Amino acid sequence: MEYRSRNYVVDDWRGHQLTAPPRGYHCVRTGGDQVLVAIATGIILQRRLGN
């Protein structure tokens, strides 16, 4: 799956009780989970499981 696509990006990370992503990363949604992904490479740094 291509996590760099804007279709998956969580822009309202505060509304999802997430902390601000570090520079060079963004939060993306996959199913009920959120993951922290490197913008340049799409490599997952951290995964947060949904309820």
Check residue 49 and report its DSSP letter: -
Of 22, 47, 46, which Cα lies nearest the Cα of 32? 47
DSSP helix, strand, coil percent of the chain (3-state; round to 5): 5, 35, 60
**Based on the structure, what is the number of domains in the chain?**
1
Indicate whether 51 pLDDT > 90.
no
The pLDDT tens digits for 18-48 are: 888 999 999 888 877 888 889 898 888 888 7
Query: pTM score, two decimals?
Result: 0.70
User: What's 10's domain CATH number?
Assistant: 3.10.450.160
The residue ranking higher by pLDDT, 43 or 50, is 43
31 is in which domain, residue-wise? 1-51
